[in-house]
Amino acid sequence: MAVTTEASISGLRAFFEQSGPVIVAFSGGVDSALVAWAANDVLGDAALSVTAVSASLATDEATDCAALAAEWGLHWRTVETDEMTSAAYRINDADRCFHCKSALMDQLEPLAAERAAMVVLGVNVDDLGDHRPGQHAARDRGARFPLVEAGFAKSDVRRISAELGLRTWDKPAAACLASRLPYGTQVTVPLLRKLDRAEAALRRLGFGQLRVRDYADTARLELPLEDLAAAITQREAIVEAVAGVGYRYVTLDLEGFRSGNLNGALTPGESLAQSQGAQSQGAQSQGAQSQTAQSRRAPR
Asked if residues 47 and 12 have their Cβ atoms less than 8 Å apart, the reply is no
For residue 177, give every residue at least 6 positions away whose Cβ sits within 8 Å of its Cβ, in sequence order, or none. Answer: 55, 56, 57, 58, 192, 195, 196
Architecture category of domain 177-261 in CATH: 2-Layer Sandwich (3.30)
In the predicted model, is pLDDT for residue 70 greater than 70?
A: yes
Q: Which pLDDT tens digit goes with each residue over 287-297?
A: 333 333 333 33
Chain-centroid distance of CA 106 in Å reads: 16
pLDDT tier for residue 212 given thresholds of 50, 70 and 90: very high
Q: Which ranges of 172-234 would DSSP assign to H, the alpha helix?
A: 189-204, 228-233
Mean pLDDT over 114-121 rounds to 98
Q: Which pLDDT tens digit goes with each residue over 215-258?
A: 999 999 999 999 999 999 999 999 999 999 999 999 999 999 98
Task: Kindly report the pTM of this predicted structure.
Answer: 0.83
pLDDT tier for residue 264 given thresholds of 50, 70 and 90: low
Query: What is the rounded CA–CA span in Å between residue 134 and residue 212?
Result: 22
Query: What is the rounded CA–CA span in Å between residue 54 and residue 62?
Result: 10
Which range has the worst mean pLDDT, 34-43, 175-184, 263-272? 263-272
Angle at 163 between CA 75 and CA 173, to 5 degrees: 70
Mean pLDDT over 6-32 rounds to 90
User: What is the arrangement of strands in the sheet containing 47-53, beginning at the earlier edge strand?
Assistant: 75-80, 47-53, 22-25, 118-120
Asked if residues 104 and 281 have their Cβ atoms less than 8 Å apart, the reply is no
Mean pLDDT of the chain: 87
Nearest to 41 by CA among 134, 133, 146, 193: 146
Mean pLDDT over 57-83 rounds to 97
Q: Tell me the three state secondary structure of residue 154.
A: helix
Asked if residues 118 and 84 have their Cβ atoms less than 8 Å apart, the reply is no
Asked if residues 20 and 169 have their Cβ atoms less than 8 Å apart, the reply is no
Specify the pLDDT at position 284.
41
pLDDT tier for residue 128 given thresholds of 50, 70 and 90: confident
User: What is the arrangement of strands in the sheet containing 249-252, beginning at the earlier edge strand?
Assistant: 211-215, 218-222, 249-252
Mean pLDDT over 142-152 rounds to 95
For residue 212, give every residue at least 6 positions away whose Cβ sits within 8 Å of its Cβ, in sequence order, or none. Answer: 180, 195, 198, 199, 202, 219, 220, 221, 222, 242
Mean pLDDT over 145-165 rounds to 94
- What are the phi and psi torsion angles at 37 (to 5°)? -65, -45
List, by residue range, all CATH 3.40.50.620 domains of the chain. Answer: 5-170
Specify the pLDDT at position 260.
63
The letter for the amino acid at 19 is S
Specify the pLDDT at position 175.
87
Architecture category of domain 5-170 in CATH: 3-Layer(aba) Sandwich (3.40)
Output DSSP code: residue 182.
Answer: P
List, by residue range, all CATH 3.30.70 domains of the chain. Answer: 177-261
Nearest to 222 by CA among 172, 184, 272, 164: 172
